[in-house]
Structure 1
Amino acid sequence: MKLKRITALVSGVGLTLCLAACGGGGTASTPSAAPAGSQAPASSPAAEETSQVKLVEDGKFKVAMECAYAPFNWTQADDSNGAVPISGTPDYAYGYDVMFAKEIAEELGCDLEIVKMEWDALIPALQSGTVDAVIAGQCITAERAAQVDFSDPYYYASIVCLVKSDSPYADAQGISDFEGATATSQLGTVWYDTCLPQVPGVEVLPAQESVPAMLVALDSGAVDLVVTDQPTALSACNAYPDMVMLDFSGTDDDFDVSEEETNFGISVQKGNTGLTEVINQVLSQYTPEDYTAMMDEAIAVQPLNEN
């Protein structure tokens, strides 16, 4: 589905940065304008250094993601629906995150390279400069923002519960109804670290390494409950028809989470302001309705058995 582009919002400065970065250089400088008819003063080395705004190198926009977090990203065997090759593998990646990665690479004028990584390796890869961005359904938490820079939100999602349809908890009206249940979620997420401890009387089992592992734990009966975000839950219900999503948003018996824990952002290396600017320019072209339509498309085309 080709979404309507609202307007071309790249500024002259932003466009200059993109072209310089993807034309083969490692960094690009923000140009300064002198008044008409005057001569611009010579820049000092210190001034030139502070004006350096790193974007991407070698004409490639390297994006890391798990490729195992449908509908945000997943692994598939072919390039159907616009999937992109995963670096170093015969497989392809697609999903909501890949849709945006493609748009940003196009805006930069760069080739897109998808790098498949474990969740815990994503931020270290940014910090080391191994990749340019992480587009992986990351919540914009204060802890993460201390380590990397974030774009504006590119999705907002409520936190929900997943149970089996034949579970004694399928008719729960709030999180307090899960007393006595066994539960898990994905390692290193708000779902596991912040939300599960709020469920009274629940037995929290060790966290799972990935979303697929979390869903298998529920499907196999190893746990009664998993906590996740709404898009992941909708995707899971598509892949596992006997799963039920329970959303307690707007009730008095819901998870207590801050806005930062439900806003998803694209992360880049600290100080890479040029790339953050370009990403935000791309995101500014989309409306909330566009985001919803893209997520609906991702859910509709995801493989039933994501890797």
Structure 2
Amino acid sequence: MSRTRISLAISAALAFALAAVGCAPQPQSDPAAGSRKALDCTSESSSLHQRGRLTVATDSPAYEPWFSDNKPSNGKGFESAVAYAVAGKLGFERDQVEWVIEPFAHSYAPGAKSFDFDINQISITPQRAKAVDFSTSYYTANQAILTLDGSAFAKATSLGAFKDARIGVQVATTSYQAVLEQIAPTRRPHVFSTTKDEVTALRNGQIDAIVTDLPTVFYLAGAELDNGEIVGQFGYAGGTPEEFGLLLPKNSGYTPCVNRALAALKADGTLARLTRQWLSASANVPELKR
């Protein structure tokens, strides 16, 4: 409307209002306000891969003690239990949780995802975080060394004893870099596609030792090898243990929701209880220094 069509009465009212306001400070506009969305952590959130369901990914086979009987949906094993605990805090019933298979090395590759979060002992690293989101840590893990009873390395008491060893690691894991930085072997680590391939190589004498996270070493020594010997554990990156996080699609609107759920599980003691229940044996392994 042009000024010429504003009535004198309205003009007078406006003038009075302006005079009353004077130089009082005025609210500042927020240019981002229109683009921000309220955080929606419900089971019907548009951020979910499928509304009404929580889609959780992990690799196959799914090893103990992280899972049990290669059945992530049974709620047994540390990561299965954590996934269902997170789901509960987010308001999902058990039958609303759907498990899908996602190979470890594919999980943090750039691109669209077919899950809401992946739980698979995935270490939080700056490089991976360029392509995906990570939750806050749900577990802090040391690396560990597994060999065969009676081998030349079974009684080793330092990382230096493995300087000339043939060491096996799984592809795309932080164990590879941990070996290079903490052990600095004279030979490049042997890289295998799966943990099963590592175990086969150890049995066949192709490698002298396996390096992977400590709980997995416990499983391999107890379930996959009759003569497995856990030599010890060591920290990564200057003595700082690596942290596992739930992996989400990049810029997922559900990342803050997952973090909120994990914070609640830490606060009420659930996460500590699940750690003791499924991973308690880890505390009895000697720590190896250089």
TM superposition score normalised by structure 1: 0.67
| CA distance in 2 between partners of 1:275 and 1:288 (Å) | 17
Which amino acid counterpart does residue 279 of structure 1 have in structure 2? A
Residue ranges of structure 2 left out of the alignment (5+ in a row) = 1-28, 40-45, 283-290
1:99 counterpart = 2:85: no
Corresponding position of 1:161: 145
| CA distance in 2 between partners of 1:106 and 1:201 (Å) | 45
- The question of whether the paired residues in 2 share the 8 Å contact of 1:156 and 1:262 is answered with yes
RMSD: 3.2
Equivalent residue in structure 2 for 1:296, among 265, 279, 289 = 279
Instruction: Give % identity.
Output: 23
Residue ranges of structure 1 left out of the alignment (5+ in a row) = 1-42, 85-91, 300-307
Q: Name the CA shift for 1:283/1:294 in 2 (closer, same or farther; >3 Å).
A: same
Q: Offset at 1:229?
A: 1.2
Corresponding position of 1:61: 54
Which amino acid counterpart does residue 70 of structure 1 have in structure 2? Y
Q: Offset at 1:173?
A: 1.3
Equivalent residue in structure 1 for 2:33, among 35, 38, 47 = 47
Matches for 1:266-305 after TM superposition, within 5 Å:
266-271=246-251, 272=253, 273-284=255-266, 285-286=268-269, 289-296=272-279
Q: Offset at 1:66?
A: 0.8
Corresponding position of 1:150: 134
| CA distance in 1 between partners of 2:281 and 2:53 (Å) | 24
| CA distance in 2 between partners of 1:51 and 1:72 (Å) | 39
- The question of whether the paired residues in 2 share the 8 Å contact of 1:68 and 1:210 is answered with no
Corresponding position of 1:215: 199
- Residues 264-301 of structure 1, C-alpha deviations (whole Å, 9 max, x = no match): 111222332443334323432336742432323899xx
1:203 counterpart = 2:200: no
Q: Offset at 1:52?
A: 4.8
- Residues 110-151 of structure 1, C-alpha deviations (whole Å, 9 max, x = no match): 3111111211111248x4131110111111111122222222
Corresponding position of 2:101: 116
- The question of whether the paired residues in 2 share the 8 Å contact of 1:67 and 1:73 is answered with no
Which amino acid counterpart does residue 82 of structure 2 have in structure 1? F
| CA distance in 1 between partners of 2:233 and 2:176 (Å) | 17
Q: Offset at 1:177?
A: 0.8
| CA distance in 1 between partners of 2:220 and 2:179 (Å) | 19
Q: Name the CA shift for 1:179/1:47 in 2 (closer, same or farther; >3 Å).
A: closer
Corresponding position of 2:165: 181
Larger Rg: 2
Corresponding position of 1:19: none
Which amino acid counterpart does residue 65 of structure 1 have in structure 2? T
Q: Name the CA shift for 1:108/1:122 in 2 (closer, same or farther; >3 Å).
A: same
- Residues 188-244 of structure 1, C-alpha deviations (whole Å, 9 max, x = no match): 111113324643444335411122222222233221111111111111111123111
Corresponding position of 1:264: 244
Q: Name the CA shift for 1:297/1:155 in 2 (closer, same or farther; >3 Å).
A: same
- The question of whether the paired residues in 2 share the 8 Å contact of 1:63 and 1:113 is answered with yes
Q: Name the CA shift for 1:48/1:298 in 2 (closer, same or farther; >3 Å).
A: farther
Q: Offset at 1:68?
A: 2.8
SS at match of 1:163: strand
Matches for 1:238-249 after TM superposition, within 5 Å:
238-239=222-223, 240-249=225-234
TM superposition score normalised by structure 2: 0.71
SS at match of 1:70: coil
How many residues end up aligned between the 2 structures? 241
Which amino acid counterpart does residue 47 of structure 1 have in structure 2? A
SS at match of 2:35: helix
Q: Name the CA shift for 1:293/1:51 in 2 (closer, same or farther; >3 Å).
A: same
